[in-house]
A and B are shown apart, each in its own frame.
Chain A
Amino acid sequence: MSISIKGLNKHFGKYHALRDVELSIPDGELVALLGPSGGGKTTLLRTIAGLESPDSGQILFEGRDAALQRPRDRGVGFVFQHYALFRHMTVFENIAFGLRVKPRTERPSEDEIRAKVGELLKLIQLDWISDRFPDQLSGGQRQRVALARALAPKPRFLLLDEPFGALDTKVRKELRRWLRELHDELGMTSLFVTHDQDEALELADRVVVMMEGRVAQVGTPDEVYERPATPEVFQFLGNVNLFHGRLAEGGFRHHAQATSGRDAALAFVRPHDLEVERFASSESSVAAVLTHAYALGPKVRLELRRTDNSAPMEAELSRDRYRNLGLVAGDPVWVTPTNLRVFSADEDVVI
């Protein structure tokens, strides 16, 4: 099932939550809605589910207008951020709910319900807790029960709102991998909301970056990370160093290099695209002082301060490279950007 969204707008009072959202989600993909909080991700997800109605625009499910269908007929499986399990029902009854409320003619028999729920319990590897109540489960278990409950009526889409937000890092990692496998196995179209870029980049086939109610960029995780469409997207996706400068013959020149040139421009450099050396290696090198260094797994993160304008910078080196340089805090260094992404007022160029 494909979803296509056209010119969607939604206000909450004076607040413009969705602004002319255009999006199409191909059949069978696992898509991440990524963005800072307040960016409209959850509103978009709830609107697709039918929990909010748009002020204008259309949502098409395989070409059919969803506005003509009631939320319950859309075939949407929804996993809520805080799970929203029915607290007075056992795990078994929670999962069976979607089967029990089907119209009489489509409702499976008690035996079929039992078999189906048993199958789902096995799928989430929790068949031993079917008699427990939600408040007797851990966060990760609740999450899996919520997922099984959403899957029971065989939805055509699975929508997940911050599915791993409330879990600790280890459980989150496991559940991520498990969700990916499940998605591939069941072949549904799935859409999940997250503010965690690692989660989106690791898990999704396609990432939709949302900011201030707009779709800022759509692309594969690689495209979005390597070629962010706007300075805002670049800044949102990980740590960056900012260079002010101008566009001149031969490309971008930052302020430390040249003051002549045409248009003012901005350049972004990821910490791992900064070379740190004892001596200047090119005309684009800038002088800086090491203020602090700390190890992050196999990498070493360096905090630097530019000598000319005291702006802070961040660089990332391998442990070996750091050891060879033999740096200590307070040492003067030269920093050279090796990969810049440049944005000017009217066009963007990569050097």
Chain B
Amino acid sequence: MSRGASADPVWLRRTLLTVGVGWIVLLVVAPILAVFGGALGRGGAAFLDAVFHPDTLSALKLTLLAALCAVPLNTVFGLSAAWLLSRFQFRGRNLLGTLVDLPFSVSPVVAGLLLVLVWGQQGWWGPWLSRHGIHVVFAWPAVVLATVFVTFPLVVRELLPVLQEQGSSEEEAAILLGAGGWTMFLRVTLPNIKWALLYGVVLSATRAIGEFGAVSVVSGHVRGQTNTLPLHVEILYNEYRFQAAFAAATLLVMLSVVAVAVKGFLERRAHR
């Protein structure tokens, strides 16, 4: 093998490799192993007991429910908003673009407090709702709302640059060739943005599953009812039930691993 002018010396390559791999092991691999170690520390039976505990399952269910509500809602919203921002010129367009980013820039705790302010007992329409027997704050609807709120910019932000870069002339061509709006969207727009869209969906799913701050403010921590998986882990940990906390955490880690795998797959497809 011949060495080009740009090739680094062997010792440098080895050092860089060692530092890089060491860093990842220290920061990522070791903690993940620690989570699994802690979870299985008292044997498989105790692990399964903790995983299949009704409170854990209920937390898992609520986490998945929140994600299943947030992802489709934000997909539809994200498509519409990205479309609006990239294809039309209107008054207040820049303002809308800024507002879309707000849930990202504001602290999740503030997001939770905003929800309490609007939907809570002393909030704007909280009293009217509770008179009609609808409880939002400290019940599952608030958990869903909080999750939707914090994941709201993810799909838009993935789609917007792609839509802007592609411009609208393919869509105009489709219309002039006789396609209706819906046909145009399905056959011309969607195929061009599908990888960005899927990527945005995966990102918002992982964020929805992992969300802690905003959900923590509005959930009320009712065990077996309004706890999500991250909240459940925290409660178990604060009660010094480390093994159970680690067991619940493994569920979260596995969901993340799936999401990262899907993301990696999508990235490879998109760049082909």
Contacts and interface: CB of A to CB of B under 8 A. Distances in A.
B73 to A, nearest CB: 27
Interface string B196-233: 00000000000000000000000000000000000000
B64 interface: no
Interface stretch (B54-62, B101-109, B172-180, B263-271): B172-180
A88 B191 CA distance: 7
A72 interface: yes
Interface in A117-157: 149-150, 152-153
B183 A101 contact: yes
A70 to B, nearest CB: 9
Interface string B179-197: 1100100011001100000
A109 to B, nearest CB: 17
Interface string B160-179: 00000000011011111111
Contacts of A71: 175-176
B174 A97 contact: yes
Given A86-B188, A88-B192, A101-B183, A72 B172 contact: no
A86 B176 contact: no
B170 A87 contact: yes
Interface in B120-154: none
Contacts of A87: 170, 192
A50 B173 CA distance: 12
B192 A51 contact: no
Contact of A51 (B170, B172, B188): B172
B178 A102 contact: yes
A264 B183 CA distance: 62
A76 B178 CA distance: 9
Interface residues of A, dominant DSSP = loop
A255 B45 CA distance: 109
Interface string A294-327: 0000000000000000000000000000000000
B168 to A, nearest CB: 9
A43 B192 CA distance: 27
A71 B169 CA distance: 14
Given A86-B188, A87-B192, A88-B192, A49 B176 contact: yes
Contacts of B179: 72, 97, 101
Nearest to A12: B89
Contacts of A49: 176
A80 B176 CA distance: 11
Given A86-B174, A87-B170, 20 more contacts: A51-B172, A51-B175, A71-B175, A72-B175, A72-B176, A72-B178, A73-B178, A78-B172, A80-B173, A85-B170, A85-B173, A97-B174, A97-B179, A98-B177, A101-B180, A149-B173, A150-B176, A150-B177, A152-B177, A153-B178
Interface of A: 49-51, 71-73, 76-78, 80, 82, 84-88, 97-98, 101-102, 149-150, 152-153
8 contacts: A49-B176, A50-B176, A85-B170, A86-B170, A86-B188, A88-B192, A97-B177, A102-B178
